[in-house]
Structure 1
Amino acid sequence: MQPLILEAEAPVRITHPDKLLFVDPPVTKLAYLEYLVQMAPYLLSHLRDRRITLVRCPHGIAGHRFYQRHVPSGAPSYIPYREVEGGKREIVIEDVATLLFYANLGTIEFHAELHRLSDPRPRVLSFDLDPSDTSDFEKVRKTAFYVRDTLSELDLPSVVKTSGASGLQVFVPLLEPIAYEDSRRIVRFIARYVEGRWPHIATTARLIKERGDKVYVDAPQHGPTRTLIAPYSVRATPLATVSTPIHWSELEGGCRPQDFTIRNVPARVAQFGDLMTESVAPASAATIAKMLNSQR
């Protein structure tokens, strides 16, 4: 198939639109781009004003993949960037044209920082739950509930999303941003509490060899230089799964990350909206201050 021109904020040239990015079930580059265009209002809200790390699979998910943090040479003039020391240009994504440009290069995954470039303080607390055994999702599910229940005891609301792979991520939305020094202190405290209360299933051990078959509650992932898979980003998995915010009731009902794919997430978001921003009221500054004061 001949290259296409997709019109966005700038015209974007799409090469090999019939290339298979996912084989079974099949998803072509064009079908993937159509997903991104449809989901752009939601995905971009979690990418804008942040440094982005890409996972590129130029020959599809069965081929070589690699991380990319800097704008490639030869990028068109409409591609935004953040220039840093040494003249390097860090990736930022502000519009549909930029999203499509990187997708045309084979970008499947978009990972974003928790804070915005315009404010180096996070507006969420994050708990990344990573299973030692990727086939045992039940342990991840239970650990997510333990984190949720602990947060609830502290009067902190929570939102859960699938990683799109084998894990879950739990977030506490904040009404006001706070310094990473404070947010990391809260996240570490809660992670260690969960580990201490449910030591048979949860661990904060950094070394993989020390985790056994437990679920890693990754507190260090909540940091100013770390990124997490963005909500509504596709993952480089055979099923073209999507990192998807879900209702806690869905997790209670037995849903799994594999249930949410490029094929059904757009209709789901049309029905429920963005659960990352619309499902719970954020934690008040007073509640966060109370938590911090209790740890002094």
Structure 2
Amino acid sequence: MKRCERRATLTHGDKLYFPAVGLCKRDYMTYLAQIGAHLVRHLRHRSVTLVRCPDGVGGRRFYQRHLPPHAPPTLPRREVPGERPLIAIPDVETLLYYGNLGAIEFHAGLHLVQGPGAGCPTELTFDLDPTDPHDFERVRELALRLRDVLRDLGLDGIAKTTGASGLQVWVPLEEPLPYTVTRPVVNFIAAYCASRWPGLATTERLVRHRGRRVYVDAPQHGPTRTLIAAYSARAVDRALVSAPVSWTELESGVSPGTLDIDAVRDRLAREGDLLALAPRNAASRVQAVYDALPLPWRQMRVRSV
């Protein structure tokens, strides 16, 4: 992967990016510069998909995973045979380059694309998506119950807001494990939650069949999927951020609507990166959970959808 040797620039700094809270592009770029090292930690050596909003959150938006056609030759990239070069973000300078292009959301793959364990996820992930975007209380309740399920299995997780209406629960691993192990475990635990609390959780993919239940999006744990990276802003009016929160905060009723770019910048300065500091789970423990699954679950195919 090529390294970037160009200086980050800012253009049209006065452009209003988050009109509801009066934040312009310069404010957003300042946030990226201040927290960039933390965000890059969760993007480096992973596949990256951007949500670009060149005119702010009120304008057009589009996804991007390939290198822009106008990218300078020194911009880092990931070469894949038979495909256009893919975006790679190994450092803060590259992060700021894409921020200046209007990249507001940074989504990252679950596995490293190079180095030891490449292609294998570095965590178990549970994406909790409310049917009613205003009903965070049910998401919070399910996350706390999921925490207890994981602890009963000898696993320790940490919650992260999505910057929208949901939560993700991450179970960091000491070393990567193949999707053929992690995905059956995630799917089984999701199905267990849906059967244990049928009025609260569901694995039903069709929204019209969910009622008020929280969707445990197990298929999101897969080799071609990405999740919003920790400390990425979201393209929403209030400049909210995806940020890890402690279980104590969840028990106390923390609201994701309070975690905007100003609040998260202060949290990082005060507490550090809670996700990076979270305990790593032994791969052998996850393997033991997999080995104890009923045979049909262990034979589950790992698909790309």
Q: TM-score, normalised by structure 1?
A: 0.94
- Is residue 181–residue 287 contact of structure 2 (8 Å, CA) maintained in 1? no
Aligned equivalent of 1:12, options 8, 12, 21: 8
Superposed displacement of residue 83, structure 1: 2.2
In structure 2, distance between residues paired with 1:203 and 1:179: 25
In structure 2, distance between residues paired with 1:223 and 1:20: 36
1:58 paired to 2:54: yes
Gaps of 5+ in 1: 1-7
Percent same amino acid at aligned positions?
50
Gaps of 5+ in 2: 296-305
Structure 1 ranges of 4+ moved more than 6 A: none
Superposed displacement of residue 30, structure 1: 1.0
Superposed displacement of residue 262, structure 1: 0.6
- Is residue 53–residue 60 contact of structure 2 (8 Å, CA) maintained in 1? yes
Correspondence 1:125-140 to 2 at 5 A = 125-140=124-139
In structure 1, distance between residues paired with 2:155 and 2:84: 39
Structure 2 residue aligned with 1:283:
281
Correspondence 1:38-57 to 2 at 5 A = 38-57=34-53
Structure 2 residue aligned with 1:223:
222
Aligned equivalent of 1:82, options 75, 78, 82: 78
Structure 1 residue aligned with 2:66:
70
Stretch of structure 1 that moved more, 141-150 or 227-236: 141-150
- Is residue 155–residue 287 contact of structure 1 (8 Å, CA) maintained in 2? yes
In structure 2, distance between residues paired with 1:54 and 1:127: 21
Superposed displacement of residue 146, structure 1: 1.5
Superposed displacement of residue 286, structure 1: 2.7
Superposed displacement of residue 9, structure 1: 5.1
- Is residue 37–residue 91 contact of structure 2 (8 Å, CA) maintained in 1? no
1:99 paired to 2:98: no
Structure 2 residue aligned with 1:178:
177
In the alignment of these two chains, the number of paired residues is 288
In structure 2, distance between residues paired with 1:86 and 1:258: 42
CA deviations 1:4-49 (Å, max 9, x no partner) are xxxx952123210111101121111111111111101110000001
In structure 2, distance between residues paired with 1:285 and 1:189: 17
- Is residue 161–residue 169 contact of structure 1 (8 Å, CA) maintained in 2? yes
Query: Cα 1:73–1:214, aligned 2, differ >3 Å: closer, same or farther?
Result: same
> Aligned-pair RMSD on alpha carbons?
1.2
* Amino acid corresponding to residue 140 of structure 1 in structure 2: V
Structure 2 residue aligned with 1:240:
239
In structure 1, distance between residues paired with 2:44 and 2:128: 25
